[in-house]
Amino acid sequence: MTSHEWKIHNPDGGKRVIVTKDLPGDRWLRLLIRADCRVEICTSTDALSVAEIKAAIGSHCDAVIGQLTENWGDTLFAALKAAGGRAYSNYAVGYNNVHVAAATRHGIPVGNTPGVLTETTAEMALALTFAAARRTGESERFLRAGKYQGWLPTLFLGKLLQGRTVGIVGAGRIGAAYGRMMVEGHKMHLKYYDLTPNSDLEAYIKDYAGFLKARGETPVTCERSDTLEDLLKTADCVSLHTVLDQSTHHLINAQRLALMKPDAILINTSRGQIIDETALVAHCRTHPDFRAGLDVFENEPALEPGLNELENVVLVPHIGSATSWTREGMAILAAANVAGILMGFPVWQQPDIAPFLKDNLPQAAPSIINALALNLVGPHGATTDR
């Protein structure tokens, strides 16, 4: 990194904060400046290496806002602690790039940005579902290549999802939002696989089924699958919304792909490593009616060899949360995490982070993952519904 790839705001601020990528909007920056922070922002679009981040931290740094493309482990948390650091926030709701235990050992609170990605990411999963089902990527490439010679009865026949079965793997906030969109918008029956029952989702769809029945329409159903295998066998499209950990790495592999319907649709807006992409490429090659829509990739930003050549796969470059409202909201939450810790505020203990997106922010750090481990919460404990 060179000096011209960094810009500095509020150079006389008493607290030094490093931000490893420029973030959208300016409210987050004003928040840090009001907290008496000198804010140094990396303007390069390249993902920073551990060595580059360590060099940027230097001998004095109070906090860092980092990215999911960075490896935040013992090396960086040790460097941040040695530089007097007191906080780190990931500019993401997920934090599989962060070794939280290492941060805790060094006494560094770790923040994330939940609550603003739900509908945005669910809408992207919806968009990928129908792009795959209706073959929009293939047909657009066909049209742009000048191959369209007029309407044909058999041109790019896709799959109708109305009234079929949608399966969601991981029925948390985003998975449940996607499920409701598919059920309400397209009268699909819902199956979900999650270690914990989602009683609110089940009750919501039961009420919606009653509404449909009262209008003389076929009621929808909601069922929690006992096994992932059962869901894969019966769903017409499957959307992945689970966290990434050791138990979900390559959760979708060759054996489980083989259980799916030959014309099923697989959607991933969660984390790329949940799918064994080598197996997915092989499956899509031998099952031309099978479709996939991917927003995330196993070795991001690299694509698995052969993936880019498949016409039955829709690919977008990790834009699931890419709306202005969401990305600016993420920046505000990341900055509020850092400012809150540096100013000695308590950790927010409510599941709703909406107050942080309004004019008068609460005097709190909105989401600190290791708050309990670092004894940063009051007697009522930290919120776990992140």
Say what the pTM is. 0.90
Asked if residue 166 and residue 127 are part of one domain, the reply reads yes
Asked if residue 249 and residue 126 are part of one domain, the reply reads yes
Q: How far is CA 25 from CA 33, 111, 322, 330, in A?
A: 14, 19, 13, 10
Examine residue 39 and state whether it is found in any structural domain, yes or no.
yes
Kindly name the residue from 52, 184, 223, 300 that is annotated as catalytic: 300
Examine residue 223 and state whether it is found in any structural domain, yes or no.
yes
Q: What is the mean pLDDT of each run of 10 residues along the chain (386 residues)?
A: 80 98 96 98 95 97 97 98 98 94 98 94 98 97 97 96 98 96 97 97 97 97 97 98 94 98 98 97 98 97 96 97 96 98 94 90 95 78 34
What pLDDT does 351 receive?
A: 85
Examine residue 363 and state whether it is found in any structural domain, yes or no.
no
Spatial CB neighbours of 223, under 8 Å, sequence gap ≥ 6: 189, 190, 191, 192
Give CA 31 to chain center in angstroms: 24
Asked if residue 265 and residue 168 are part of one domain, the reply reads yes
Is residue 300 part of the annotated active site? The answer reads yes
Asked if residue 231 and residue 123 are part of one domain, the reply reads yes
Asked if residue 97 and residue 23 are part of one domain, the reply reads yes
Asked if residue 83 and residue 174 are part of one domain, the reply reads no
Give CA 274 to chain center in angstroms: 13
Examine residue 214 and state whether it is found in any structural domain, yes or no.
yes
Domain interval for residue 256? 118-315
Kindly name the residue from 271, 283, 291, 327 that is annotated as catalytic: 271
The CATH number assigned to the domain holding 177 equals 3.40.50.720
Asked if residue 299 and residue 252 are part of one domain, the reply reads yes
Examine residue 369 and state whether it is found in any structural domain, yes or no.
no
Place of tokens 């100013």: 343
Kindly name the residue from 180, 287, 318, 386 that is annotated as catalytic: 318
Number of domains in the chain: 2
